Amino acid sequence: MSIIELVDLKKVYMGNHVALDGVSMTIPHSTVFGLLGPNGAGKSTIINILAGVVKRSEGIAKIFGKTIEHDDYIHKKDIGFVLEDPHYLEKLTATEYLHFCGALYELKSTDIKERVNELLTFFDLKGRATSQIETYSNGMKKKVSLAAALIHQPKLLILDEPLEGIDPTSAKQIKDTLRLMADRGVTVVLSSHNLDTVEKFCDEVAIIHKGKLVFQTKTEEIRIKI
């Protein structure tokens, strides 16, 4: 079963900038799937369309078989997003931010408390949980974003450059978490401009270049095709 389906997806930003030039692909259930391509290829645009923060110009984007419409948050109950430039509230502490996210998903407050505690422990954030997020390192901020994306135990996780600009320890924690999620049957979709990251980590890869899908392949075959 495919979890994500794109059909001839196009995005033209203001000023006639073509960011996606007809991308079609399907992302299967229970894989770790990489969107690989250089900066400017269109990876974030795909992810932002899936997240509903950018509106597609043409084509179809479906998640769980349902078409994504702008401002349609219904399908998001089963999805966790980590966008590249998270606009979370930096004046909040990690504890406050995670409580806020739990409330957005309408979780019960006792469940939120337990879940926040579990996530802060899991990501080694407890020591700084009552400091404002703006004082955190990039790695810690990424972990807070990931914790927020996991708060409602989604079936699908979509992450934009989750390992970019962070320290090796945080990167390892994030990779281990994503692997653990995948082993539990969560579908993980991530973007990267780093072949090594994708090759070591993903089961399947789509190469994106200049707004087009160049090819999609199982990771073990990637070196043959590049």
Residues found near ligand ADP in the complex (CB under 6 A): 13, 17, 19, 37, 39-45, 118-119, 122, 150, 177, 180-181
Nearest distance in Å: CB 33, ligand ADP: 15
What DSSP string runs through 123-149?
TT-GGGTTSBGGGS-HHHHHHHHHHHH
Complex with ligand ADP: residue 44 or 219, whichever CB lies closer: 44
Residues 6+ apart with CB under 8 A from 195: 36, 222, 226
DSSP lists the bridge partners of residue 17 as 13
Start-to-end CA span in the chain (Å)? 27
* Smallest distance from ligand ADP to CB 49, Å: 9
Q: How far is the CB of 18 from ligand ADP (least distance, A)?
A: 8
Whole-number Å distance between alpha carbons of 210 and 42? 7
Specify the residue, 9 or 19, whose C-beta has the smaller distance to ligand ADP: 19
Shortest Å distance, C-beta 71 to ligand ADP: 17
Could you tell me the smallest distance in angstroms from the CB atom of residue 211 to ligand ADP?
Answer: 7
How far apart (Å, rounded) are the C-alpha atoms in residues 151 and 115?
Answer: 7
Nearer to ligand ADP, 45 or 197 (CB): 45
Q: Could you count the other beta carbons within 10 Å of the beta carbon of residue 134?
A: 10
Of the pair 177, 219, the CB lying nearest ligand ADP is at 177
Reduce the DSSP state of residue 56 to 3 states and report it.
coil
Which residue's CB is nearer to ligand ADP, number 65 or number 181?
181
